Chains A and B, each alone.
Chain A
Amino acid sequence: MFRFIVKRLLEAIPTLWALVTLSFFLMRFSPGSPFTSERGIPAAVLANLQAKYHMNEPLMNQYFHYLWDLLHGNLGYSFRFSDYTINQLIAQSFPISAEIGFWSFLVAVSLGVICGVFAALRQNSLLDYGVMTFANIGMVLPNFVIAPLCILFFSIKHHWLPAGGWNGGAWQYLIMPVIAMSTSYIAQIARITRGSMIETMHSHFIRTARAKGLPKARIVIQHALRPAMLPVVSYLGPAFVGIVTGSVVVDQFFGTGGIGQNFVNGALNRDYSLVMGVTILIGTLTILFNAIVDILYVFIDPKIRY
């Protein structure tokens, strides 16, 4: 078991390297430069700027330089906000995204699983149809529609919540981003849970448990829930990525100042080091999360052995 975990984590290293390399060269080969601006820059200033960012060296040197810095946990200076290092920018915005993401994830998983389980246990009842209708709607409503709808309802119509901002993560500022972020995942997880729960409840060991006369609550919680969670767990990897990507939308609408905003601004400004930094961070988290999901899978599914 321990060996499997170590092996799974070691496997992530070449993936990470590929990620760094690909995003590095994608950025460098793209047309446009971070120093192009409407006003021309004097040649001497440009040369100085390029020297600061090692842009005057051959590409391979730049690449190895970047890798070397990266190994020391140094993501370099931002091209746009030249007083900041990328580490500072990320340290500023990442906790915000992490907090929104954490709550969204928690809400999505708990609500999704609860809705799905109840819908499955009362299959073809009114509750089931209600949950499934909600799930179908939630799945097709993009979060950039849910976000303004939230603002319209909670802030403009009723003045219950502030329309945007972060304010150190006070709960009033957290609610709408979490709603916008988690709706489609609640829907998706509810659908998956319902499907696999129905399948599990029809299996032989559940029939045996029933025949033994176990109370229904115990059958559901002790016997059915664990195998029914398998497809949900494997969905959590993609869901995590989606929640991270979703922060691009949430940051734009609610002005929360999370990492998504950094990324989009960075990409639009050709801020190489910022885009690279965010991509590497997100990529690392994604790879790590996929590994965790794989490891979790082993714990839940007794059929898988390593």
Chain B
Amino acid sequence: MPPMTARCHIEIDDRAVEATRGQSVLEALHTHGVVVPALCHHPGLSCPATCRSCVVQVEGQGGSRMVTACNHTVAEGMIIRTEDSESRSLRSRALAEMVQRHAMECPICPASGECELQEAIGGHGPQAQAHELAGSSERVALGARLHFEAGRCIQCSRCARFEQEVSGAGQVGIKGRGPQIEITTGPAGVDHPLSGNLVDLCPAGALVDPASTVAAPAWTLRSVDTTCGSCATGCAVRADVDSAGQVTRLRPRLDSDVNDWWMCDEGRFGFDQELEGRLRLPEPATPDEETAWHVAVDRLRRRMAQPRSAVWLSPFLTLEEASVLIDAATTWGARLFLWSVEDRGEMSFPGGFRISGSRAPNTTGVGRLREAGETSVGTTKDLQTAIGEDQVGQLLMCGGGPAGVRPRLDRSGVSFLATHNLVSYEKADLVLPASHWLEKDGTFVNDRQQLRRVRPARAPMAGQTDLELFLQLAGREPTSAAEIFRELASRHEWLEGSSHAQLDANQRTHPQGVAAGGAWVDTLQRQGLLVIEDPAR
């Protein structure tokens, strides 16, 4: 709660409200549920105030003026009007100008349904004659997952500012002058690791992901808020799921402590290779045949209860999963080791965004369980040494990472090997299918010690989740991840006061929606016209 001095009293459409000093008029309006279009403005970028579609009337010292809400700040006693006929007609005019040459192809545009321009026109735009000089769109490929539809561009310059301020790559700029301005790229197109954000940023469907043109329309998707498991940054993301239950795309959610409005292309586009890959294990298997879950669980418990057993924990496990597996190992008397994934070096960007060097999402979390646990947990090197000294007869090796991230371990001498993985790339005596992070319910701790909430966007492909498996291995009754987290929080000081419910509340979507693109869906939701089902809520 900011101190009282940071507040000021303003009036919005004859309603007396409080605002925060230094806040823009646009922010104050949004806070109080008043929507005006703001097409060049993006809260994560500088504010050029050039689209002029957020014009409102402001009365303050020096009389009444028409100002752009995005770049004027509130002041004590300010009276803001958005509903008067003058400011309504000016906003409508600005929008009419903007769409005069905008290619009118909403029926075939993938942005349709979550398009900021569409939303703005619907709420504030002109009634007729808007697309008077519109032509059709011409498509230019700027990158593998980025196409530019020139006819749809409204010259808002968000993409060019993103390239300067956030990615720092400067690969998109504005070219030409006057009526001819358009966006331009260097000879290499756009090939930096944050390029996917340009699609989210674009308010008019001009920058599109070619894959999305064949995907289900935005209004048929349901969304789940979760955390990206592709690296230890732990970006807040929203997973959109189509009616068949497939995750069709990931988009970043605002989390100013972690990822602001952005995410990297690897996280955004990399997930479905693992999630929907043809090589994913459908059920447990021995070298000869597939087996039923209960057969596999019984066999594993029997073997692991023998002396010289070891469990290799994976940093792709959630806190809850790792904790239950540690419990199981303890009952078996098995030694514990933790796989440390090789660090590839952190990548950071001018806007403060970073891609963690660790490709495993929960190295920190599992590591902290290890520190706090009663049993000691060894490193990969310790495990290798133990194998070399013939101290490991049975080994449960947890993986769960993407295909490119594989453990390196010489296992000669291990008589029984069970692996737990998304795909089977190793000869083992028992192979157990693992859950993808988009199928998990639980928590990660990112490399900045921040608790990140992971929630399932789809049912586990293998029929049951890692947590269910580990509970069976530990001989425990089925229970929820939230319940296990509660146990953890009571045992570990560093988790005190946290709970899934509290983390979920903190991760609630910002009023301005998922990265800009989702505003339209949010508006529909607010108006009760669209119900997003969320099985996890």
A and B from one assembly? no
Write the residues of chain B forming the contact surface with A, with a CB cutoff of 8 angstroms: none
Write the residues of chain A forming the contact surface with B, with a CB cutoff of 8 angstroms: none
